[in-house]
Amino acid sequence: MKFSLVRRCHHRLSPSKLSFMASLTTQTPTPTPTDEDNLDDLLCPSTAGSATAAEIGEEREDVEKASFLGHPNGYLGGEAGIERAWAHWRKLGQPGLMVAPMVDCSELPFRMLCRKYGAQAAYTPMLHSRIFTENEKYRSMEFTTCQEDRPLFVQFCANDPDILLDAAKRVEPFCDYIDINLGCPQRIARRGNYGAFLMDNLPLVRLLVEKLARNLQVPVSCKIRIFPDLQDTLKYATMLEEAGCSLLAVHGRTRDQKDQRKLRADWMAIRAVKNAVRIPVLANGNIRHMDDVNSCLEVTGAEGVLSADALLENPALFAGFCTAEWAGEGEDGTKDGNLDQAELLVEYLKLCEKYPVPWRMIRAHVHKMLGEWFRKHPEVREDLNAQSRLTFEFLYDMVDRLRQLGCRIPLYVKESSNSEIVPAANGDVPCSL
C-alpha cells in the first residue's frame, strides 16, 4: 500500500556531532560587517563548533570507498543501471516525504526542523554551479550540512557539464544524490540559461546528466517540469533515464504555469511519466497537507512526494498538522493539535543558533511562518521590517510580544486521531495518522 509511506520508520535524529561548511575545511567565522555589507547576508552567530579537517577527511574517505554501490564510476546503462538505481533507493530506506528545493529556504536549520516533524529526505536550495566552483564565500555560506541531515539531495543549476561536475565533486561525499535543476521557471533562469529553459536544448541536458553519471560516486537525480504535450514529456523523461538519471522528480506544471494557487499540478501527467520510466519517481505539486500526500501517491503511483510552499508556512505538515486554511478539507473533522507556528519558529531559531545561516534566510522564514499572525498584528511586522540588523534576542522577544497580545493561531490535526499527534523522538511520522 502506498499509504504505508506515511508511517515508515527512518533515521533517529540525535544531537549533531558534526557540522561543516561546503568549503570542506572549517567553518567560516562570522564576518565583521562594514558599511557596504548587506546585514541580512551575514551569517548569524554560531553556538556550535565546526568539524575538524580529520573528521571531514574520514567522511570523504568512507564515501569514496563505498562508491555508488560498488561500481567504480557509479554509472551503468540498461538493466544494470535500473537495478542499481533501485538498490540505492532501497538502501536509503525508500523515503517518501520530501522537503523540496527552495532558493534561500531549504537550508540546513529548516531541513532539520522538517525532519523532526516527519520529513524523510530533503533537498538543499538550488546552488549555482559556476559560482559554487569559483567563490569560497558562496560555498561556505550557501551549503551547510551535518551527520543527521540525510538522506540529502544537493541541487545545482548549470549549463556547462565540466563546471557542473567540478561543483558536484566538492559535495558528493556529503550527500546521497546530486540533483540537476531542470525545473526553475523564473526569469533569472531564463537570463542564466538554466533550469526549465534547458527544455529548449535537450542535447545539452543529456550531456549534463551523462557527465555526472559517468564521473560521480553518488547517483544523479533530475527535477523537471512537464511539457504542454504529454508525449514530449515522456520522451524527455526516458531520455534522462537513458542518460544515467537514477531518480526523477516531476513537477506537474509546465514552465509557464507559475501561479500555484490558481493552477493545479497535473498528477495524471506524473502518473504517465511513472509508467514510462523504470527508475524511482517523485511527485511535486499541490502537496498542502497529508490528505494531499495520500491522494497524490494514489493517483500518480510515485515513490514519494515533494512539498515546498506549504512546508514554509507549516513545517509540521508531514507530521499530520495543517493550517486553518485546510482544516475544513477531507471527510474527517479537525481539532487543535496543541502546536502553533510561533512554537515552530522558536524551534527553527534554536536550530539557526546551532547551524548558522545568512540572516536573509531567517527573515524570510519568520515572514512565512508568522504571516497570518502578522495580518492580525501588522504593527509587529512593521517593527520587524524596520530592523536593519536582526538578532535572536529581538526575534524571541517578538514571539513573546505576539503571545502577550493574545495572538495564537493553532495548527490542526484530524479529529479521528486517537491521541495528540506529536513528532516521534526519531522523526518518524506517528502511526496515529
pLDDT of 76 reads 59
Q: Please, are residues 21 and 144 in contact by the beta-carbon 8 Å criterion?
A: yes
Alpha helices (runs of H) in 244-340, residue ranges in sequence order: 267-276, 290-300, 309-313
- Is residue 93 predicted with pLDDT exceeding 80? yes
The answer to whether 248 touches 222, Cβ cutoff 8 Å, is yes
Confidence of residue 326 (pLDDT cuts 50, 70, 90): confident
103 φ, ψ (degrees, to nearest 5): -60, 125
pLDDT attached to residue 133: 97
Q: How confident is the model at residue 173 (pLDDT cuts 50, 70, 90)?
A: very high
Cα angle 218, 223, 228 (rounded to 5 degrees) comes to 150
CATH class of the domain whose range is 2-7+47-320: alpha beta
Residue 433 has pLDDT above 50, yes or no: no
Banded pLDDT at 330 (limits 50, 70, 90): low
**Per-residue pLDDT reduced to its tens digit, 199-239:** 999 999 999 999 999 999 999 999 999 999 999 999 999 99
pLDDT score recorded for residue 294 = 96
Q: Which grid coordinates belong to 154?
A: 544537493
Mean pLDDT of 88-95: 97
Give bridge partners of residue 71 from the DSSP assignment.
68
Provide the 3-class DSSP secondary structure of residue 195.
helix
Q: Where are the domains of the chain?
A: 2-7+47-320, 326-414
Q: Comparing 119 with 30, which gets the higher pLDDT?
A: 119
Cell numbers representing residue 297 in the block: 501517491
Provide mean pLDDT across the span 251-271. 88
Q: What does the pLDDT read at residue 415?
A: 81
The DSSP call for residue 296 is: H
Calculate mean pLDDT across residues 90-104: 96
Can you tell me the distance from the alpha carbon of 178 to that of 106, in angstroms, rounded to the nearest whole number?
15
> pLDDT tens across 24-76, in order?
322 333 444 444 456 666 666 665 543 433 343 444 444 444 444 444 455 55
DSSP three-state, residue 362: helix
Q: What is the number of other CB atoms lying within 10 angstroms of the CB of residue 394?
A: 12
In degrees, rounded to 5, the angle at the alpha carbon of residue 116 between the alpha carbons of residues 17 and 390 is 80
Q: Is the N-terminal amide bond of 315 cis, ω within 30° of 0? A: no
pLDDT at 128 over 50: yes
Stretch 2-18: mean pLDDT: 36
- Distance from C-alpha of 202 to C-alpha of 163, rounded to nearest angstrom: 18
Q: State yes or no: pLDDT of 381 exceeds 70.
A: yes
User: According to DSSP H, which parts of 156-289 are helical?
Assistant: 161-171, 187-192, 202-213, 230-243, 267-276
In whole angstroms, give the CA distance from residue 108 to residue 317: 18
> What average pLDDT does the structure give for the chain?
84
Q: How far apart are CA 39 and CA 32, in angstroms?
A: 10
Task: Give me the mean pLDDT over the 342-363 stretch.
Answer: 97
SS3 278: coil
Model confidence at 338: pLDDT above 80: yes
Q: Which residues partner with 184 through β-bridges?
A: none
Residue 245 falls in the annotated catalytic set? no
Using CA atoms, how far apart are residues 348 and 345, in angstroms rounded to an integer? Answer: 5
When pLDDT is averaged across residues 168-189 and rounded to a whole number, the result is 95
* pLDDT at residue 52, rounded to an integer: 32
Question: Which of 3-12, 27-36, 251-260 ranks highest by mean pLDDT?
Answer: 251-260
Q: How many CB atoms lie within 10 A of CB 190?
A: 14
CA pair distance 9, 15, nearest whole angstrom: 18
Annotated active-site residue in 146, 157, 184, 245: 184
When pLDDT is cut at 50, 70 and 90, the band that residue 327 belongs to is confident
More confident residue, 287 or 69: 287
25: how many CB neighbours lie within 10 A of its CB? Answer: 15
Cell numbers at 160, concatenated: 556547462
